[in-house]
Amino acid sequence: MINVDLSVAAALRKSGGIVNLMPMGDSIHFGANTKQEPFTLLTLTDDQRFAIERAKKYALEQSIQNALSKQAAQLHQQDLNTIKRNQALILLSRIYVGSISFEIGEEEIRKTFSPFGPIKSVALSWDTVLQKHKGFAFVEFEVPEAASLALEQMNGYTLAGRNLKVGRPSNAPQTAALEAELRAESSTKPRVYIASVHPELTESDIQTVFEAFGKVNSCSLYPDPKCPGRHRGFGYIDFESEEAAIAAVSSMNCFDLAGQQLRVGRAITPKGVPLPFELNANKGLNTISTNPVSTSAVAFAAASISAKVMTLSAEEMSSSSLNGVSEYNILFLFFYLTFHVIYCILFTTDLYIYLRAWVYSCEVSVVLMQIYG
């Protein structure tokens, strides 16, 4: 490329002069009598057009693959965050209980702490030599809110003549940051945890009582799977405003309702997040469970894009008479079907999505057969 000073070229243009810019002796003329040939596009050969079409399809393929890869990475990161949050919920559901009287057994401990929420297990230390417990135990609740309320209200509680020492297990990681993070996540929607609800009270009864503090968006008591139509005595209340939630906690905690003292505190578990006992009932903690909504969207998007790209490829290539078109489309179809099947296997376990993906593939095959007759 030859660099030309624009000011010099402009001056020569005005003077109508001739300047030699070409190394081979060709001249570029400037002036009123200069002949200017019209600008025309070069006519591409069949090979050039074929190369351009292949480049366009390759670019589109790469764009689709990059988009799906990014989406898959985002889903995987969401799953990792979900596992981390579930682990935090389980850690926050455990407490240490010390200074237990030797006259107290596991049943008494369970009965003492059950008003705060459902108890999953009570691990009472045992001395095999003396044939009695060592004076401490670990209590694991099914929900973290129950453990939080027990920490607030049971430390120093007198049981069988001894003051209990209640705290977090010393061998557990620092849970204050985890609890603060979960509370911050759920603080956008004021939510209250309620326990020790009388079995004869209904969700409607509880909602009527708590509506005195502000508008209640929802009230749910967890059903008892062993007794249809009955609840397990705990649940959550979603308020419209933060002020209503604060007032409900301060006024209704330890309030006697139908002969039982309610246990009320701020919710730790965000709405829509499975509780620890629900996780244990569904494949356990360390299983990465993909979001069904997001995985469905990705699977359908991948199938739809694949169908459009393959149909476009077939229509364009059928209009030309280049050799190797059929072979190219067969490879193209094989690539997309293989990629889509692998993607579905890795990122979804829903049979419905499998069937929909196969329907899309069949539709593409029909289009190709119609085009090539």
Please indicate, yes or no, whether residues 117 and 158 belong to a single structural domain of this protein: yes
Alpha-carbon span 7 to 5, nearest angstrom: 6
For residue 118, the 8-state DSSP code is -
User: Final residue of a domain: which of 270, 297, 314?
Assistant: 270
Residues of the domain holding 142: 92-167
Alpha-carbon span 103 to 105, nearest angstrom: 7
Please indicate, yes or no, whether residues 71 and 96 belong to a single structural domain of this protein: no
Residue 324 lies in a domain: yes
> What integer pLDDT is reported at residue 146 of this predicted model?
96
Please indicate, yes or no, whether residues 237 and 309 belong to a single structural domain of this protein: no
User: Final residue of a domain: which of 270, 302, 321?
Assistant: 270
Please indicate, yes or no, whether residues 201 and 231 belong to a single structural domain of this protein: yes
Give the pair of three-digit tokens for residue 216: 């209640």
CB 289 within 8 A of CB 79: yes
Residue 284 lies in a domain: no
Print burial letters for 79-118: b (CB count within 10 Å at least 16), e (below 16): eeebbebbbbbbbbbbbbbbebeeebeeeebeebbbbbbb
Burial of 310 (0-12, 13-18, 19+ CB in 10 A): buried
> What integer pLDDT is reported at residue 282 of this predicted model?
47
Please indicate, yes or no, whether residues 295 and 351 belong to a single structural domain of this protein: yes
Alpha-carbon span 281 to 207, nearest angstrom: 29
Look up tokens 């993070």; give the residue: 181
User: Final residue of a domain: which of 270, 302, 322?
Assistant: 270
Kindly report, residue by residue over 75-103, the tens digit of the pLDDT. 888 777 778 778 888 888 999 999 999 99
For residue 125, the 8-state DSSP code is E
Residue 111 lies in a domain: yes
Residue 177 lies in a domain: no
CB 93 within 8 A of CB 143: yes
Neighbouring CB atoms inside 10 A of 179's CB total 19
Kindly report, residue by residue over 152-167, the tens digit of the pLDDT. 999 999 999 999 999 9
Kind and range of the H or E run holding 152: helix 144-154
Closest CA to 267 of 166, 148, 151, 150: 148
Q: How many domains does the chain have?
A: 4
Residue 256 lies in a domain: yes
Instruction: Point out the residues of the chain with pLDDT beneath 50.
Output: 1-4, 12, 17-25, 282-299, 301-302, 319-326, 372-373
> What integer pLDDT is reported at residue 288 of this predicted model?
35
CATH number at residue 254: 3.30.70.330
Alpha-carbon span 171 to 146, nearest angstrom: 20
Please indicate, yes or no, whether residues 133 and 195 belong to a single structural domain of this protein: no
Please indicate, yes or no, whether residues 153 and 228 belong to a single structural domain of this protein: no
Residue 179 lies in a domain: no
Alpha-carbon span 284 to 271, nearest angstrom: 20
Please indicate, yes or no, whether residues 202 and 143 belong to a single structural domain of this protein: no
How many contiguous H segments (helices) and E segments (strands) does the chain have?
A: 11, 14
The gap from C-alpha 308 to its chain's centroid, in whole angstroms, comes to 28
Amino acid at 329: N
The gap from C-alpha 225 to its chain's centroid, in whole angstroms, comes to 28
For residue 129, the 8-state DSSP code is T
Residue 136 lies in a domain: yes
Residue 116 lies in a domain: yes
